[in-house]
Chain A
Amino acid sequence: MTATSLPAPDAPEDLASSDNGATVDEAFRRTALGAGLAILAILGLIAWASISKAWPAFSDQGLDFLTLDRWAPSQNVFGALSMVYGTFVVSTIALIASVPVSVGIALFTMEVAHRRLRSSIVFIIDLLAAVPSVVYGLWGVLFVAPSVAPWYNSISDTVDGWPVLGSLFGGGGGSGRGFLTAGIILALMITPIITSVTREVFATVPQGEKDAALALGATRWEMIRGAVLPHSFGGMVGATMLGLGRAMGETIAVALTIGSSYQITSSLFASGAAMPSTIALEWGESSGLHRSALIGLGVVLFIATIAVNSAARLIVTRTERRMRGA
């Protein structure tokens, strides 16, 4: 850049072309900047375009859209509470099942497994992430649901009438498609992301503190409890929230395994509906206000996942920064 500003009357021929080079340079910088701005443009456009198309449904239903437990497209009544509930229940089951397992895998990889074994474990978890969600759905609906249905039914018969378990697992086992099956399939699907983020957080624990714990005579487990876990708590919360974001938005696997009926029930064996699965299942046969309501579900989902993911990223970044400072 300074070359162009130099008064160089007898500059060699090939340097004289440097003005041209500066233009190319600036053009390249702008192209790259444009590509970066594309992200902001796309996110902005998603918010604006989807909200404007969902507006008819929002203004027609008002707050009922989120608080009413009645979804009847034929009567133009769109209260999505049962889907919000379904998304909440399924994601909660997925997190409860997945977080301890993911933390266990991350610990096993980082603290127990031999270095050579480590990369194989990471590879297997990567494969788990690579299986397309529709394949999980296929497996869930054609293999898992029929094989767990007898179990569900016998558990349901046993606990029927018991105080707490009765309301969670009583009232019939159904076809095997329902909240619990969808939640378990989801748990498998979010395990890779929680594992990989947790592993990265564990990697930032200072080696000195781990060595110090061991030198004081701690067993490996005591070292993990005393040095690794306290350091990583924030990061583990962030990883869990990233998993939650993934679970909330998962569409096809849930659509195939949740059984699709709009109800709010405490029974985990019962079938239900989640927000994203409803969009996918009803899209083809929807029009007018119904489709607008489905786009509205997309908007709610978009806002919810953006909120959860932003919070998660902030937590993870802050923890990692603090760790590096330590």
Chain B
Amino acid sequence: MTVIDLTRDGGPTGSERISLEANLSPKRRAADVAATIAMFLSFAVAAIPLALIIGYVFSKGGQVVDLKFLTEEIPNSYRRVGPGMGPAVVGTVIITAAASVMAIPLGILGAIYLNEYGKQNRLARTIRFMTDVMTGVPSVVMGVFIYVVWVLRFKAQTGFAGALALACLMLPIVIRATEEMLKLVPDELRLASLALGARRWRTTLTVVLPAALPGITSGAMLAVARAAGETAPIVLVTGLTFQTNWNLFEGNNTTLAAQIFRNASQPYEGAQLRAYGAAFTLILLVFACTIAARLISNRFATKR
């Protein structure tokens, strides 16, 4: 860019610039072009499968999803062709909602501790590190954990057990996202509030949190999107049902993700079509959360 400015200011003229470039040995020029092409291709290599997956699931699943599909009970035979993912839709919504109700407030409080109280002391650094480590704990391990401490104790696989497992998976994501947002709140706001005589808790709840709210919302929605698509813990701790179960604390439950897993490996067309339908519904749900999160954080970024 500076080269162009120089030309305008009467520096090297256009022809001189071209001659400079012509001095590049063919080998160096070829390496540069090849590298640029390779970088673009690597993006294509990732983007094309994404398009394939979305296109495939939408074309197969789009044709079976309608109101009837979303509300009717699941047929209890894989072979039967026809709709029904109602129980899984209900299960996904209530289990993910229960997990969010547990994980989001706890995660925000944890982040408040890290950023407003602990800051750089040893405990806060340990918690921060462990939060990062916990983000990497595989979801199936979280399922095993909830099975051991909850399902074995109460002798029942319930929707709530699934919600607990999802909450454990969401917690570290919410904490880290919230802390990043709290860090962006200028210290002057805190000082101004404290100088006006507000207590720390009041400053945090009425000044710092509202300032960071868009970012926190966006982080929380990403966590919700991730939790809604989790399969392994659900398969381990919530059991299976073919009827809608609105009760989180009693009886087995099921989710869209768990139903996709169960139906995907079946050789029967009815089951496979239901898997596609469930995948279509789940992708729409998850993408809606992801895109909403991005819109919110974009709006926030322009204000910053």
Contact = CB atoms under 8 A, between A and B. Distances in A.
Interface of A: 21-22, 24-25, 27-29, 31-40, 42-43, 45-46, 49-50, 52-53, 100-105, 107-109, 111-112, 121, 123-128, 130-139, 141-143, 188, 191, 195, 219-222, 224, 242, 245-246, 248-252, 255-256, 276, 279-280, 283-284, 294-295, 298, 301-302, 305-306, 308-310, 312-313
Interface of B: 24, 28-29, 31-32, 34-36, 38-43, 45-47, 49-50, 52-54, 56-57, 106-107, 109-110, 112-114, 116-118, 123-124, 126-127, 129-142, 144-145, 147-149, 152, 168, 171-172, 175, 199-201, 204, 225-226, 228-232, 235-236, 257, 260-261, 264-265, 272, 275-276, 279, 282-283, 286-287, 289-290, 294
A309 B43 contact: no
A249 B230 CA distance: 13
Considering residues A141, A249, A305, which has the most beta carbons from chain B within 10 angstroms of its beta carbon?
A249
Given A100-B42, A138-B260, A298-B141, A242 B283 contact: no
A45 B142 CA distance: 11
Closest A-B pairs by Cβ, 8 of them: A249-B138, A132-B229, A104-B42, A309-B136, A35-B109, A28-B201, A32-B113, A298-B144
Given A131-B283, A279-B232, A301-B138, 13 more contacts: A25-B200, A29-B200, A31-B109, A32-B109, A36-B109, A46-B145, A124-B46, A126-B294, A127-B287, A134-B257, A249-B138, A301-B140, A306-B137
A123 B291 CA distance: 9
A138 B265 CA distance: 8
Given A40-B127, A45-B149, A305 B40 contact: no
Contacts of A252: 231-232, 235, 257, 261
B282 A135 contact: yes
Considering residues B53, B140, B289, which has the most beta carbons from chain A within 10 angstroms of its beta carbon?
B140
A168 B294 CA distance: 43
Contacts of A308: 136
B43 A28 contact: no
Contacts of A313: 129, 132-133
A137 B265 CA distance: 10
Given A43-B130, A125-B46, A221-B31, A305 B141 contact: yes
Contact of B39 (A22, A39, A107, A131): A107
Nearest to B24: A219
A261 B46 CA distance: 29
Nearest to B42: A104
A161 to B, nearest CB: 31
A32 to B, nearest CB: 4
Given A220-B35, A295-B148, A309-B133, A276 B286 contact: no
Given A43-B134, A46-B141, A101-B42, A126 B57 contact: no
22 contacts: A25-B199, A32-B117, A33-B118, A39-B127, A39-B171, A39-B175, A49-B148, A124-B46, A130-B287, A132-B231, A133-B231, A134-B257, A135-B282, A137-B260, A195-B46, A219-B24, A280-B236, A295-B147, A301-B140, A302-B137, A306-B136, A309-B132
Contacts of B34: 221
Contacts of B130: 39-40, 43
Contacts of B113: 29, 32-33, 35-36
Given A32-B112, A283-B236, A105 B42 contact: yes
A111 B38 CA distance: 13
Contacts of A24: 199, 201
Nearest to B108: A35
Contacts of B137: 43, 46, 249, 302, 305-306
Given A136-B53, A141-B265, A36 B200 contact: no
Contacts of B117: 29, 32-33
A46 to B, nearest CB: 4
Contact of A101 (B45, B50, B276): B45
Given A40-B126, A105-B43, A298 B140 contact: yes
B279 A138 contact: yes
A135 B140 contact: no
A248 B136 CA distance: 10
B304 to A, nearest CB: 15
Considering residues B35, B117, B124, B142, which has the most beta carbons from chain A within 10 angstroms of its beta carbon?
B35
B124 A126 contact: no
Contacts of B261: 134, 137, 252, 255-256, 280
Nearest to B60: A142
A53 B231 contact: no
A35 B110 contact: yes
Contact of A104 (B43, B225, B272): B43
Contacts of A219: 24, 28-29, 31-32
Nearest to B41: A104
Nearest to B47: A124
Contacts of A242: 136
A72 to B, nearest CB: 21
B193 to A, nearest CB: 13
Contacts of B46: 101, 105, 124-125, 128, 188, 191, 195
